[in-house]
Structure 1
Amino acid sequence: MKEQLKISMAFLGLLVGAGFATGLEVIQYFASFGINGLWGAVLAGVVMAVAGAVILQLGSYFLADEHKAVFRSITHPAVSWGLDIVVTLTLFCIGFVMLAGAGSNLEQQFGLPAWIGSLIMTVLVMVVGLLNVDKVSSIIGGLTPLLILAVLIGFAYTLFNLPDDFSAVSELATQAESPVSPWWLSAVNYNGLALLLGVSMSLVIGGNHVNMRDAGRGGLLGGVIYTILLILAVFTLLANIETVAGDDVPMLTLFNSMHPAMGYVMVFIIFAMIFNTAIGMFYALGRRVTPSRPSWYTPVFLALCAAGYAVSFIGFDTLMTYVYPVLGYLGMAMVVFLVGWWIYARRRLTEESGHRDTIRDLTEQREDDDADFSSDDESELSDELEESDADSDALAEQVTSEVTGEDDGEDAGDTDPGEKERE
């Protein structure tokens, strides 16, 4: 259960990034439809829970260290190439937009020049991105409870300050522009966008866990928590639409209306969520660009971060209004491919999960000095590794690493002996 919770927090951290934390996406994609926006949140949550379980489990099944190998295995080469291009470009585009957003966030609250806030975020991303994937996902998951706490505080405040006429509030909310309509299509489009942004790092997180059951349940749990948070956020912003309407950072406005000190707290939380999104984008991008040469990761990753900072002053509004809906539709298509293949290969996935359970049990027995590990057990372990769909050497090393609690490397640039070349 501990591993499942860890996975769910990391997955959730990728989903509830800067757009969710600021509240801008929540208003545009959900609250702008009034009461129907709440139904949209429910629909989006159901899709996210299913897709989360599928994506994390597929990452585990393929022991993914980047997204291209997974796409290539489940779709036609032309489709795989198209998805790879879209996801790779999206990683970089959203990555530098997050750097710009960090600058704007600190500028709005503290008056710092935007380039300073962006530089601070870039340095943080560079430092954390040199850690291995397990540490990166732990940091992403560790920051996520901050947003959960913020949403709960906002929701509690709203319950004690409900509007007198909710129908009037709902009508006012519909005056906000939404990039996609009607409400149900907006909800699904938002799903596609969020998953397109998070799929690459989600596959990597799943690939860092051999237990496919834990990975799938972690994704499902993350989706369920996401659903609850989304519903609470939509309700909170909808009920306070008179206060936050027209603002670029609605959540910050709401917290400032509670008390100035709360605004400073929310600035930190938003900055942390921007960091979550930025590190998820650049880390996954660095992994994608260097799959066959892991030793090149560090210089390539740092160069990508520097390039992202250099172009981080491109406007966010244009991206939100015109590019996000297109990415959302592409993300929807990607989810259909992933879920479709998961359904098609369900029996195969179940068998593989059984092999890995046996491999882990035998490995734990072998590594336990107090347990008997006979030649028959050794032979059975060898047979199970051969029958597994995964590369036997890579699987054996990863299982051993999990059982013994050893890291796969001190930083992301280390070349892991069992890391497969997937080019």
Structure 2
Amino acid sequence: MDEKKNTQFSVKTMLILAGSYVSFGIGAGFATGAELLQFWAAHGIAAILGLIISAALILLCIAVVSRDCRKYKLVNMEMMYKHYCGKYIGTGIQWFNTLTFFLMVGSMIAGGASSLHQAFSIPVSVGTLIMLAAVLGTSLLGMKKLTDILGNIAPIIILSVLVICIYSYMHGTDGFAAGNELIKAKSGLTMSSSLIFSAILNFTYVVLNMSAYSANVSTRADHQKELVFGNVLGQTITVLSQVFIFIAFILNASIVAGADIPLLMLAQRLGNVFYAFYGIIVVLATYTTATGMAWVAASNIQPESSKWYKVVVAVICIGAFIFSNFGSFGVLMNFVMKFVSYLGIVFSVCVIVSKIYRAVKESKEKA
């Protein structure tokens, strides 16, 4: 029987997929506010236009990839990369993406240490050792279930950020016009001085891993519409949250401009108890992000069932710890985000070329 006769469009499934999309995309970069500041601070209020352009490109690409994942039964990252990029380029992108996970582990260790220092006055050198021990210990135990549980802090992050933003709106330190000029003047590390290119880099930064996510969840929906609408709703919630946060940054530019962890800076104004609470949330977010990425990087080299898995995990975590000492959290994040963004450009070009090639080939076969 036809799929449409067997199943009906499920709003519940759509909402679950939207929630999964948001939870997957919200991690340490969102909780710290570092990604948002580095991508968009240099452009001031025009960043909202850039965010909309980026979101539209992300949704278009995710819709195409989601459809293809169901049509061609691409159920994991490796299959998806090889489908669009071919055997050799696809394998290359897969391994370069594994490298980005490794580098992200290092930047998250630095981010956790910076958060511990800022919120609890723990020396950065001690903080990096604490983060290393936590990430390495969890990964060695086979962390997937624990990370899935701790990954559910995404709703807590969103609610906490909402509280921070509302307070920051009500008690802004700068007028909108003055804050807009100040955040541009003191933007610090940035991805690009061009608004359009920043939007493209933001798109390629997000879409590389969100496409892999789409491959993994493509079979969870009974209808293509559930998957597409779920992704649209999830991305809409994400971009609205980013706009909400960025306006708070403009209204408090004298506090956050050039900061490594801007949302933690704003949380400090809500009192010591909330500041400590959000400091713990940020540390947990960086920890779960680092642990998850350490697991992905290690399992891509050796499966968790392999006798070499623990050795690989140890090498990755210790190597990431060494990398975490190469710069501050902001510097390392800037480097890793650019690395991921440019790798995402390669993947995006492959998707476009692949779609054109297959469309031409199918039209010739029908002729």
The TM-score normalised by the length of structure 2 is: 0.79
| Alpha-carbon spacing, 1:130–1:171, altered in 2? closer, same or farther (3 Å) | closer
> 1:247 & 1:22 partners in 2: Cα distance?
10
1:364-383 → structure 2 map (5 Å cutoff): none
| Aligned residue runs from structure 1 range 256-405, under 5 A | 256-290=268-302, 296-297=304-305, 299-311=307-319, 312-314=321-323, 315=327, 316-338=329-351, 341=354
Q: Distance in 1 between matches of 2:81 and 2:162?
A: 37
Unaligned runs of 5+ in 2: 1-10, 360-367
Question: How many residues align structurally?
Answer: 337
Farther-moved stretch of structure 1 (95-104 vs 173-182): 95-104
Alignment of 1:399-414 (within 5 A): none
Relative to structure 1, the CA distance from residue 281 to residue 216 in structure 2 (aligned partners, 3 Å threshold; closer, same or farther) is farther
Q: Partner residue of 2:362?
A: none
Does the C-alpha gap of structure 1 residues 235 and 136 become closer, same or farther in structure 2, counting only changes over 3 Å? same
The CA deviation at 1:153 is 1.2
* Residue identity (%): 22
* Structure 1 residues 344 and 157: alpha-carbon distance in aligned structure 2, compared to 1, 3 A threshold: farther
Alignment partners' CA distance in 2, 1:165 and 1:189? 29
Map of 2:110 onto structure 1: 100
1:90 to 96, 100, 106: 100
| Segment of structure 1 superposing worse, 100-109 or 263-272 | 100-109
Quick one: which amino acid aligns to residue 333 of structure 1? V
Matched, 1:227 2:243: no
Q: What is the deviation of 1:182?
A: 0.9
Q: Partner of 1:117 in structure 2?
A: 131
Summarize deviations over 1:56-111 as a string: whole Å, max 9, x none: 55455555554222211223334323322321211222123223322332233224
For 2:90, the aligned partner's letter is: S
Give per-residue Cα distances to partners, 1:345-374, cap 9 Å, x unaligned: 79xxxxxxxxxxxxxxxxxxxxxxxxxxxx
Look up the match of 2:6: none
Say which SS state the counterpart of residue 76 (structure 1) adopts. helix
- For residues 194-213 of structure 1, the aligned pairs below 5 Å read 194-200=206-212, 202-203=213-214, 205-206=216-217, 209=220, 211=222, 213=224
2:19 alignment partner in structure 1:
9
Is the 1:204–1:284 Cα contact (8 Å) retained in structure 2? no
Distance 1:165-1:236 versus aligned 2 partners, 3 A rule: closer
Structure with bigger RCO (C-alpha 8 Å, 6+ apart): 2
1:265 aligned partner, one-letter code: F
- 2:72 & 2:289 partners in 1: Cα distance? 24
Residue number among 198, 212, 218 corresponding to 2:230 in the alignment? 218
Structure 1: runs of 5+ lacking an equivalent: 347-423
Q: Following superposition of structure 1 onto structure 2, how do residues 133-148 of structure 1 map, counting pairs within 5 Å? A: 140=151, 142-148=152-158
Q: Is the 8 A contact 2:264 2:275 kept in 1?
A: yes
Distance 1:101 1:55, change over 3 A: farther
Change (3 A) 1:247 1:170: same
The equivalent residue for 2:263 is 251
8 Å contact kept, 1:60–1:211: no
- Higher Cα radius of gyration: 1
Partner AA of 2:182 in structure 1: L
Distance 1:100 1:298 in 2: 29
- Give the drift of 1:55: 4.2
Structure 2 residue 143 is the aligned partner of structure 1 residue 129: yes
Q: Deviation at 1:189?
A: 0.7
What does residue range 31-42 of structure 1 map to in structure 2 within 5 Å? 31-42=41-52
Cα distance, 1:342–1:228 mapped onto 2, change above 3 Å: farther
Q: How large is the Cα RMSD of the aligned pairs? A: 3.1
CA contact (8 A) 1:44 1:191 kept: yes
Query: CA 1:301–1:28 in 2, change beyond 3 Å: closer, same or farther?
Result: same
1:18 to 2, 7, 28: 28
Contact 2:260 2:330 (8 Å CA) reproduced: no
Shift of 1:255: 0.4
Distance 1:203 1:33 in 2: 30
Q: Indicate whether 1:28 and 2:44 are aligned.
A: no
**TM-score of the pair, normalised by structure 1:** 0.70
How much has 1:273 moved relative to structure 2?
2.4
Instruction: Supply the AA of the counterpart residue of 1:9.
Output: G
Contact 1:256 / 1:263 at 8 angstroms: preserved in 2? yes
